[in-house]
Amino acid sequence: MDTQQAVADAAQHEANEEGVESRRDGSNKITLGPGDSLDGKLNYNGHVTIQGQAQGEFRVTGNFEVGSGATVKALIEGSNVTIKGDVEGMLTARDKLTLGKNAKLSGDVTVKRLQIEDGASLNGHVRMGSFEQSSGS
Amino acid sequence: MTENETSVVMLGPRDRLIGELYIEGNLRVSGTLEGQIEATGDVDVTEAATVKATVTGREVNVSGQVNGAVTASKKLVIGRGGSIVGDVRVPRLIMQDGASLSGNVSMGPKVAAEFAQAAAAEPTPAPVGVAVAVVQSATDGETAQEKAKPKKR
């Protein structure tokens, strides 16, 4: 009896996992840990979170997050961009850019919405609203 | 703080000011303002306000429309309905979701240090004004000094 139950449980788990994966297909996710680094160009259909170091050019269809302690020198494009670490480079957020309280961002920014928490630092040109025009440049 | 009596200037929704304004104290704008404003204290731009001016203050709160450069020596807060079109120079910036900003933003410790330097160096750019005051004081003493005083920059 016990073994049968175990098998049944396992089958259920598999089904669940498949379900989760199929949902994930719509929104893939990459996470670079604190010790990880990335240098290069990335076009990604999903969300990206960086907690380590990254350099290059990143265009993602989903959200882009730079964790606290992370250092990114790159061109960044994403729909929601959240920054809690150090970022240097051009940044485009198709929807919203959020600068956390320890965020440091230097570079030109094109966003639809912008939220800056107290303690965050921003140096650069900000363009808001007229997003369609800027995507061509 | 008692030595410079903090005056509060309020411009109501139907008030309009076109020109240059210098206040030793706080300013609260709900009306229309065009030109140049500088306050030693805090500047509040409320939701009803339309400001087409360069704005300088210690702590600047924007909930209305501002068209012009904004400088705050302490911090700038852009509220939910606030909108700034112009360059911003502040040591600290808080921006709520829904606020709008278009322009160059310079901030952080560097800017804060510049403000500290500017405050320390404030007496030195006076020579021009002092020279004028000295020349004029030969003719009429007190009024010339009074004239020279508010022109800090």
B90 and A120 Cβ atoms separated by less than 8 Å: no
B27 and B46 Cβ atoms separated by less than 8 Å: no
What residue type is B16 in one-letter code?
R
For chain A, the structural domain boundaries read 28-132
pLDDT of A18-34, one tens digit each? 333 334 445 789 999 99
Asked if A126 and B103 come within 8 Å (Cβ–Cβ), the reply is: yes
A62 and A78 Cβ atoms separated by less than 8 Å: yes
Q: Which of A121, A125, A131, A133 to mutate to test the interface with B (most CBs of B within 10 A)?
A: A121
Asked if A114 and B94 come within 8 Å (Cβ–Cβ), the reply is: no
ipTM of the complex model: 0.72
Shared-domain flag, residues B132 and B149: yes
User: Whole-model pTM?
Assistant: 0.74
Question: What is the reported pLDDT for B117?
Answer: 81
B1 inside domain: no
pLDDT of A90-105, one tens digit each? 999 999 999 999 999 9
B112 inside domain: yes
Shared-domain flag, residues B94 and B25: yes
Interface size A-B, in CB pairs within 8 Å, comes to 48
Shared-domain flag, residues B127 and B117: no
B52 inside domain: yes
Q: What is the DSSP string of A43-77?
A: EESEEEEESSEEEEEEEESS-EEE-TT-EEEEEEE
pLDDT of A68-78, one tens digit each? 999 999 999 99
* Contact list, A113 vs chain B (CB under 8 Å): 97-98
Looking at the structure of chain B, the number of domains it has is 2
Shared-domain flag, residues B114 and B150: no
pLDDT values of chain B reduced to their tens digit, one per residue, 153 residues? 445 567 889 999 999 999 999 999 999 999 999 999 999 999 999 999 999 999 999 999 999 999 999 999 999 999 999 999 999 999 999 999 999 999 999 986 677 788 888 777 765 444 444 444 444 444 444 444 444 444 444
Q: Which domain holds residue B127?
A: 123-153
Shared-domain flag, residues B16 and B86: yes
Asked if A126 and B98 come within 8 Å (Cβ–Cβ), the reply is: no
